[in-house]
Amino acid sequence: MKVRLKDRYDSLCEIASARGLDIENIKEKLKKQVIELPSWAVGNSGTRYGTFREQGAARHIWDKIDDCAEIQRVLGVCPVMASHVCWDKTEDGRYAPVREYAQEKGLRIGTLHPNTFLGQEYRFGSICSPQPETREMVRKHLLECVDIAREMGSKCIGMWVADGTNYPGQDSLRERKHRLYEGLKVLYDAMDDDMRMLLEYKPFEPFFYTTDVCDWGVSMLNCQKLGPRAKVLVDLGHHLHGVNVEHIVSTLLDEGMLGGFHFNNHRYADDDLITGTVQPFDLFMIYKEIIDAELDGLDTDITYMLDQSHNIEPSIEGIIYSVMNIQTSLAKALMIDRKALREAQENYDVIMANKILMEAFETDVEPLLAVVREEMGLEDVDPIANYRRGGYAEKIARERGNTGINTLGG
């Protein structure tokens, strides 16, 4: 480690000691962090208006696995790849080879995502559609997804039900509510006992008058009705302006209903961009609530995933940067002097309570993460520098050109 970085690390150790924190325990928690990589984020993707093609973008599932393995090489905390049935089909329709090739590359398949949004048949929705033939088609698709999950070795199915209406009077809202539960129950009942479902929510888009799973309350209500293997998934971009996401996280943790995250960014709407680039304090506060819940003995068995669509930046570097920002947020949340914070809260000392949080948020944790990466055996403590120096981007640009597959956008 460079001398200046070592001096900063020694200073950080002194700060941790003054706050009554065990730096070795913090390092272990950072080493055990696991972030699932989205297979779809390394292909060409964009907006509803078009796609900017990227040199070296993944052409098929095998390229995606290679790219995720490269990301894991420089980060060390991403040994899992989330998959989407829309874009991860093999040439012969078999999925076991996907699992096997991922294992060869040091990865395993994580959350499997069914398709409830891509296709002309979803004009009026999927499992909530008023068309019986569409609902029956989706029912068969969900049963097929359970078989695919088994074949890929996945133990988690992530459901984003992209259903809703565009106009008042278009459909019966209560009937759609019933169809939603009935459709989800088909999937839930078909899953193995060691599988679980994560139900995502979103206030709007692709429909704009009503959304059938519009917020965490609707998601939690359905999960509670389904059973203990169904939990709520929080996508950081799926909230209206001003919503306090860490408050939602705290409530779900307290109810034992938080199952997973989709990490991305949020400025105006669901942008699916690099997480932590606009509202890093929110990400820090989310981890603060998770750590508090863990310290209180609550269930924190949470699946952490990226859900991103890189449009103008190099996709692999965008993913690496997102994970680095997540690591930084966790490290800062672990640096909170919780004893002092509790005392300030008990004394109704509003200023000091906030000041304690801000001190942790403003703590320089870069040297801590550098030591963690060094102790994990990574080649460089700067993952982006590690990636750029490795020559992988140049290699895939030569081999693949700009003919990568489209996942999102035009």
Gyration radius from the chain CA atoms: 22
What would the DSSP string read from start to end of 250-295?
HHHHHTT-EEEEEE--BSSSB----TTSS-HHHHHHHHHHHHHHHH
At 401, list the tokens. 């050109």
Alpha helices by DSSP H, 301-407: 315-334, 338-346, 350-361, 366-375, 383-390, 392-400
Q: Using the Cα atoms of residue 304, residue 307, residue 308 and residue 314 in order, give the sign of their dihedral.
A: positive
State how far the Cα of 354 lies from the Cα of 369, in Å rounded to an integer: 25
Inter-residue contact 42 to 314 (CB < 8 Å): no
Question: Helix, strand, or coil here: 50?
Answer: strand
Helix (H) or strand (E) holding 79: none
Which of 173, 238, 166 lies closest to 200 in space, CA to CA?
238
Which of 1, 53, 120 lies closest to 370 in space, CA to CA?
1
Asked if residue 8 is part of any domain, the answer here is no
Asked if residue 14 is part of any domain, the answer here is no
Instruction: Count the Cβ atoms, other than its own, within 10 Å of residue 263.
Output: 26
**Burial of 224 per CB tally in 10 Å (0-12, 13-18, 19+):** middle
Q: What is the pLDDT of residue 410?
A: 32
Asked if residue 12 is part of any domain, the answer here is no
> What global pTM score does this model have?
0.94
State how far the Cα of 235 lies from the Cα of 254, in Å rounded to an integer: 18
State how far the Cα of 372 lies from the Cα of 12, in Å rounded to an integer: 13
**Burial of 4 per CB tally in 10 Å (0-12, 13-18, 19+):** exposed
Asked if residue 32 is part of any domain, the answer here is yes
State how far the Cα of 164 lies from the Cα of 179, in Å rounded to an integer: 12
The label of the residue with tokens 């294992």 reads 103
pLDDT tens for the 410 residues of the chain, in order: 566 888 999 999 999 999 999 999 999 999 999 999 999 888 777 666 667 778 888 889 999 999 999 999 999 999 999 999 888 878 888 889 999 999 999 999 999 999 998 889 999 999 999 999 999 999 999 999 999 999 999 999 999 999 999 999 999 999 999 999 999 999 999 999 999 999 999 999 999 999 999 999 999 999 999 999 999 999 999 999 999 999 999 999 999 999 999 999 988 888 889 999 999 999 999 999 999 999 999 999 999 999 998 888 999 999 999 999 999 999 999 999 999 999 999 999 999 999 999 999 999 999 999 999 999 999 999 999 999 999 999 999 999 987 666 655 43
Instruction: Count the Cβ atoms, other than its own, within 10 Å of residue 339.
Output: 12
Asked if residue 1 is part of any domain, the answer here is no
Q: What is the pLDDT of residue 46?
A: 62
C-alpha torsion 345→333→309→60, nearest 10 = -140
Inter-residue contact 274 to 313 (CB < 8 Å): yes
Query: For 138-267, where are the E strands, in sequence order?
Result: 156-159, 164-165, 196-200, 210-211, 230-235, 258-263
Asked if residue 406 is part of any domain, the answer here is no
Asked if residue 4 is part of any domain, the answer here is no
CATH number assigned to the domain comprising residue 47: 3.20.20.150
Q: What is the pLDDT of residue 118?
A: 86
| Enclosing domain of residue 150 | 23-400
Asked if residue 48 is part of any domain, the answer here is yes
At 189, list the tokens. 């009942």
At 375, list the tokens. 């102790």
Tally the domains of the chain: 1
At 352, list the tokens. 């000091």
